[in-house]
């Protein structure tokens, strides 16, 4: 794909075929409808459900979507509006809050029929980048596979992640990943995920009044009985008593 000479903002949909490439410009993909499964430099994630992605120039990535989908895509020349140090220091996937989602949907409506003209695209790119800069953690992505897995687990503990998926995301065979994870953390990947989910469940019980069944689903448990059993093993009490105590 040829590098754009100026920012380009358009809406795109993707077919169900998996593709892999790299391009010589930065690209930001923001969801409007549907999801796009991606792997960026060994990190797997999903664009959609409140998450976007920034792919730096030259970074190999693969992507595949299923079903109806539509995204706002911002292509930015390398060395242009995006500071190079900031781009390469960022983790690829990032959360989208309500304000940013509103901006994305406005741009989607403006670019529904054709890409924005150069002046509009330049201003839109500036708005998007300023919004991202204020919301994205500009911290280096960890290099160590176990550290990368820990970051991924913390970000996506509420999703039905498996050890095999984590291993693939950090570029290790499942058995090797399990071995290294246990050696470096003193626990297993499955146990760490369970602890993260219980931490999240306790926070929801403390801070809100969601029904127990909803808390269980939000944090990745199959049902409220599974959550109750796990909390009882951890705390020696029931979720109702825990809510009152917290």
Q: Which two tokens stand for residue 42?
A: 């060994």
The per-residue pLDDT for 141 is 52
Residue 237: the pLDDT is: 55
Single pTM value for the model: 0.54
In this structure, what DSSP letter does residue 67 have?
Answer: S
pLDDT of residue 11: 93
Q: What is the pLDDT of residue 208?
A: 65
Structure confidence at residue 1 (pLDDT): 47
User: CA angle at residue 18 from 82 to 143, to 5 degrees?
Assistant: 50
Backbone angles phi, psi at 28, to 5 degrees: -115, 125
Instruction: Give residue 2's pLDDT.
Output: 47
- pLDDT at res. 246: 44
E runs forming strands in the chain: 8-12, 19-21, 25-33, 36-40, 43-47, 51-55, 61-64, 70-77, 93-95
Q: Which two tokens stand for residue 150?
A: 């820990």
pLDDT of res. 170: 78
Residue-level pLDDT, tens digit, the chain, 246 residues: 444 567 888 999 998 888 888 888 888 999 999 999 998 877 788 898 888 888 888 888 889 987 899 999 998 887 655 554 445 445 578 888 887 888 888 889 988 888 888 888 888 887 877 777 665 554 445 568 888 888 888 877 777 778 888 888 777 888 999 999 999 999 999 889 888 888 888 877 776 667 778 777 777 777 778 878 887 776 665 555 555 544
Measured distance CA(246)–CA(231) in Å, rounded = 13
Phi and psi dihedrals of 115, rounded to 5? -55, 150
């Amino acid at each position: 794909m040829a590098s754009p000479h100026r920012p380009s903002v358009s809406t795109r949909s993707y077919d169900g075929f998996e593709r892999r490439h790299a391009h010589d410009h930065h690209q930001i993909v923001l969801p409007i409808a549907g999801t796009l499964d991606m792997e960026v430099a060994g990190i797997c994630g999903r664009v959609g459900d409140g998450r976007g992605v920034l792919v730096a120039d030259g970074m190999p990535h693969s992507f595949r979507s299923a079903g109806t989908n539509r995204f706002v895509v911002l292509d930015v020349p390398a060395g242009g509006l995006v500071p190079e140090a900031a781009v390469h220091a960022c983790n690829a996937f990032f959360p989208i809050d309500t304000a940013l989602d509103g901006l994305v949907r406005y741009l989607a409506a403006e670019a529904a029929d054709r890409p924005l003209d150069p002046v509009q695209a330049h201003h839109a790119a500036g708005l998007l980048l300023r919004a991202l800069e204020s919301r994205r953690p500009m911290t280096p992505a960890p290099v160590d596979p176990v550290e990368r897995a820990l970051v991924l687990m913390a970000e996506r503990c509420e999703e039905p992640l498996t050890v095999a998926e984590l291993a693939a995301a950090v570029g290790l065979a499942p058995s090797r990943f399990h071995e290294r994870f246990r050696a470096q953390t003193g626990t297993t990947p499955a146990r760490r995920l369970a602890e993260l989910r219980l931490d999240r469940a306790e926070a929801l019980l403390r801070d809100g009044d969601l029904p127990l069944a909803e808390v269980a689903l939000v944090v990745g448990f199959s049902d409220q009985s599974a959550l109750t059993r796990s909390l009882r093993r951890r705390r020696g009490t029931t979720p109702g008593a825990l809510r009152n105590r917290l």
